[in-house]
Amino acid sequence: MLGQVTFGWIDKHCKQATGSNDKVFGGKSLILTGDPGQLPPVADKPLYHARPSNAVGEQGHQAYHMFDKVVKLTVNQRVQDSTRLFYSNEQVGNYNHEQLTKLEHPIAHINARHSSALAKKISSDDMSGLEHVVFLAKDARVMLTMNLWSSVGLCNGATGTVVDIIYQNNHQPPDLPIAVIVEFENYRGPAFNESRPLCIPIYPITVTSQTEIGFHERQQLPLRLAWALTIHKSQGLTLPKAWIDIGKSERTAGVSYIAISRVKSLASCVIEPMTYERLTSLKSSANLQYRLEEENRLDQLAQATSSAFRTANY
């Protein structure tokens, strides 16, 4: 943070350089950027301090108060394009729909094909992540829901942007398209289109699930909207950035840990404000107590195992 004395000297030197001693900063235009919440300057007082330490500090203090136009940045741009994580499917659906609508492109409602009435009732989790319905539009942010070619970046959790939705003649939504062209941010494989090397066609995939009365198939695009995910769906993913709402209570033991650990550093995430009671509720879950007991049991077994192998090696 800039201090009063430093700012006073800047004012003095600007006046000396321009010869305009009667104008703040010699009549030069300045834009200040910063945050009053930053740490105060070393061996100086912050610009807003009411009691400057000397005459130069007083000059800096007065110069600072000549700034009467303020633009307050209320959106955290560092994680503005991050994935939102919510606890409930409803929150995720609402946020994704809101972002999809903002694109102002036609929205394709794409139904999966099913081999039976029972197949329609099977959850996406039991169909390798294939959804019953996928909503897409040009420029929509999407995520792969299965591993297609992991070594080149086409893996579960890979994110990208829809470039085009391709249908054969006489077909349209809600039919399945031939393919969806997606520009993947971290694709490292051969180019499908030399002019846009990150653009890859994603085709419908057929998955089989077994129940008590036989096998059932679902054919669908292995994609989902990715502006927001449930914390449960994010489990196992590593996200470059995340904006997290852990909810009003710890409805599932460990949900807060799973959400926050999706990023590699705390600098890559924003956590929605919460109450003190929300934090203290972490320890009140009965399931958490069972988990802690199990972790303690495993720690003891790990120590015993390590000790046994060390003894055997002597």
* Shared-domain flag, residues 220 and 185: yes
- More confident site: 179 or 293: 179
Q: Model confidence over 32-43: pLDDT tens digits?
A: 988 887 778 888
Instruction: Report, as an integer, the average pLDDT of 49-55.
Output: 92
133 assigned to some structural domain: yes
Q: Considering 230, 259, 287, which residue would you say is the last residue of a domain?
A: 230
Which has the minimum average pLDDT: 10-19, 38-47, 74-83?
74-83
182 assigned to some structural domain: yes
Phi first, then psi: give them for residue 22, nearest 5 degrees.
-90, 0
* Shared-domain flag, residues 56 and 103: no
Per-residue model confidence (pLDDT) at position 312 = 65
Residue 59: which domain range? 4-66
Per-residue model confidence (pLDDT) at position 201 = 96
* Shared-domain flag, residues 100 and 41: no
Q: At 10, which amino acid appears?
A: I
**Contact between residue 270 and residue 79 where contact means Cβ atoms under 8 Å apart:** yes
Q: How confident is the model at residue 260 (pLDDT cuts 50, 70, 90)?
A: confident
Pairwise CA distance, residues 112 & 115, whole Å? 10
* Shared-domain flag, residues 46 and 143: no
Q: How confident is the model at residue 286 (pLDDT cuts 50, 70, 90)?
A: low
217 assigned to some structural domain: yes
* Shared-domain flag, residues 137 and 30: no
Instruction: Report, as an integer, the average pLDDT of 105-125.
Output: 93
Pairwise CA distance, residues 222 & 155, whole Å? 11
Strands (E), the chain: 83-86, 108-111, 113-114, 133-136, 141-144, 159-166, 179-184, 199-202, 205-211, 214-220, 223-225, 228-230, 242-244, 269-271
Q: How confident is the model at residue 235 (pLDDT cuts 50, 70, 90)?
A: confident
Per-residue model confidence (pLDDT) at position 76 = 64
312 assigned to some structural domain: no
295 assigned to some structural domain: no
* Shared-domain flag, residues 116 and 190: yes
Per-residue model confidence (pLDDT) at position 92 = 94
272 assigned to some structural domain: no
Closest to 137 (Cα-Cα) out of 193, 199, 181, 178 = 181
Pairwise CA distance, residues 144 & 39, whole Å? 42
Q: Considering 203, 230, 257, which residue would you say is the last residue of a domain?
A: 230
* Shared-domain flag, residues 36 and 139: no
Per-residue model confidence (pLDDT) at position 289 = 77
Closest to 160 (Cα-Cα) out of 111, 204, 223 = 223
Per-residue model confidence (pLDDT) at position 311 = 72
* Shared-domain flag, residues 160 and 226: yes
In three-state secondary structure terms, 34 is coil
Q: Is the pLDDT of residue 279 over 90?
A: no
Q: How confident is the model at residue 189 (pLDDT cuts 50, 70, 90)?
A: very high
Instruction: Report, as an integer, the average pLDDT of 221-231.
Output: 94
List the structure tokens of 134.
């996928």
252 assigned to some structural domain: no
Instruction: Report, as an integer, the average pLDDT of 273-297.
Output: 75
Q: Where are the alpha helices (DSSP H) in the chain?
A: 4-18, 55-64, 89-102, 117-121, 231-234, 255-260, 276-280, 286-313
208 assigned to some structural domain: yes
Q: Considering 230, 260, 281, which residue would you say is the last residue of a domain?
A: 230
Instruction: Report, as an integer, the average pLDDT of 214-223.
Output: 95
Which has the minimum average pLDDT: 62-76, 141-155, 186-200?
62-76
Which has the minimum average pLDDT: 36-40, 59-63, 181-185, 269-273?
36-40
- More confident site: 136 or 237: 136
State how many domains the chain has.
2
Per-residue model confidence (pLDDT) at position 314 = 57
Average pLDDT over the chain reads 88
Per-residue model confidence (pLDDT) at position 78 = 65
* Shared-domain flag, residues 38 and 136: no
* Shared-domain flag, residues 108 and 221: yes
Q: How confident is the model at residue 179 (pLDDT cuts 50, 70, 90)?
A: very high
Instruction: Report, as an integer, the average pLDDT of 258-283.
Output: 80
* Shared-domain flag, residues 60 and 117: no
* Shared-domain flag, residues 156 and 47: no
